[in-house]
Structure 1
Amino acid sequence: MYLRSLLLLLPFALVACQAPQPVAVKKPVVVKQTPKTDVRAAEVKRLLNEAEKALAANRLTIPKGNNAFDLYRQVINLDPANVQAKSGLQMIPLRYVEMSRSAAAKGSISKAKTWLRRALSIDPDNAPAKTMLNNLQKVNVPAAVKTNPEQSAKNDNLFLIDPQALKSKDDSLQPYLQLIAQKAKMDGLLAIISAPTDADGRWIYLQMKKALPGFRLRGDIRRGRQPQVKLESP
C-alpha cells in the first residue's frame, strides 16, 4: 500500500523538480543617437573648409558672414583651441599687407592704405602694417604711373618711374621703390632696372636694396629713356 502511494506521488515530484522554462524577453530597440561632440566636430570641419575657400578668394573680412575672419571666429567659438583657425586668423592681416604692397607698387596708394587699415583693425599691433602705412603717408605717386596707366596695366610686374622725380632724386621715390623691392623678394623675381644713365640705374637699385637688408636682390641695370623697374622670373 505504501509502495503504491509512493508511485502515485512520483510524477508530481518529478514535475515539481523540473526547472521553470525561461520566458522570452524582447530586447528593447536602442535608437543610436549621434553624440553632441560628433555634431560639433562636423560643423567645425565644415566651417574650416568654408574659411579656407574664403581666404583663398581674398574674402578676408567682407562680405559679412561669408568671409574668412567671421568663419574662423565661428570655429573658435566651437573649438577655442583649434590650431587651424588660429593660424587662419593670423594669416588675414598678413594677406592684407601682401595685397597692400602689390597695390602700392602699382601706384594705388589709396587702396593700399585701405588694406593696411583693415589689417590693423584685426591686429592693431601688426608691425609690418604699421610701418607700411607710415611709409605710404610719404609717398607721392610718380606722374608716369598716373599718366600712363594702360602701359603699366599690360604687365602687372612693370613699374614706371617719374623721370623728373628720378632726376632730382626725390625722396618720395624711396618708399615707392622699396615696395617694389619687397614684391620682388616675396615673389622670387629678378629686378630689371631701366634708366637714362648708369648712375640713375644704380641709384634706383640702392633705394630698392634699403628695403631688403641682408637680402641679395638679383637683377640687371639697362639703359632706357623711360625709367622703370620690371620684375621677371629667374
Structure 2
Amino acid sequence: MSQALPFTALFDGYDAGYYSLPAEVIKARDTHAAIVAQPYPEPPESVVAVIERLAVETVDAVHAGTELPDVAQIGAARAAELQHQDVSVMLGYCKDIAVKRVQSAVHAHGLAAITDHLKPAHDETWQSFRRAWQTLLEHGQTEPRHLLAAPAKVRKASDTCDQLAERYVAIHTARGALARAGFTCPDDPNGKYVAIRNYHQLSPSRMAMARPPWFGLNTRQFLGWHATNGGQLWLPAPDEQKQAVWDEVADNPVKRAAGF
C-alpha cells in the first residue's frame, strides 16, 4: 500500500480555510501526518563493523599485554541490528494503518462532508459571488482589464470575484476527491447536474455533443455567466443529483419513450 496521504485534494482546500470537514476526518489526517513525521531510528553499528573493530582491539591488546575486549559486544550488536530492522518494519506498518484510517474516515463521513461542510461553503461562495458580480454589472463592465480605472468599490468587487472563483474551484476539487472515494451518482455518469441544478433549462439541446453556452469559460466567467443568466449552481449530494436527473427525464418525451 502507498503510505502517502490519500484524497489530498480534499484537505488542500481545508488547509487554505475554504471549508470545514468532519472532525473525525481531520483527526485521521492529522494522525497520519504525525506518524509520517516520526523519525526512523538511527542504524546501530553493524555486526560486521563491530567484529572488525574488536579484531583490531584484540590484536592491540595482545601486543600491549592489556585486557582483551569484551566479545559480548558482538551479540549486543546483532540484537541491536535486528531490533532496528524490526522497528523500521513496524513504522512502515504504522503508516499503512494510518492511511487505512484516513480512507475509513472519508468513507464513513464523506456524505456528511458534502452536506454539512462543502455544501454550506459552496452556497456562501455562490451568494457572495453574485453580490460582487452585481456590482460589476451595475458598473457596466465585468472583465478585469476594463476595471483598472474603476471606482474602488468596483475594483474591490472584482478582486472578490477572483477570490471566490478560487474558492469555488477548491470546493469542487474536494467534491471530486469524494467522488473518487465512491460518493457518485450512477444516474448522472457525465456529471451533468454535479454543479448546475437547472442545466437543462439553461442548455435545452438534447444532442449528446451539444456544447452549453458557458463552454470554454474560465471559472470567473463561468460563475459570472450563471449569475447573469439565472444559473442555479449547487453542490448536491448523490441523491439530490439523482433527483435532478429524473426531473429532466419527466420532461423528456424521448427518454420516457425509451423506458427511463
Give the TM-score normalised by the residue count of structure 1.
Answer: 0.25
State the TM-score, normalizing by the size of structure 2.
0.23
Q: Which has the higher helix share?
A: 2
Greater radius of gyration (CA): 1
Write 1 or 2 for the structure with the bigger share of strand. Answer: 1
Q: Which gives a bigger RCO, structure 1 or 2 (Cα 8 Å, sep 6+)?
A: 2
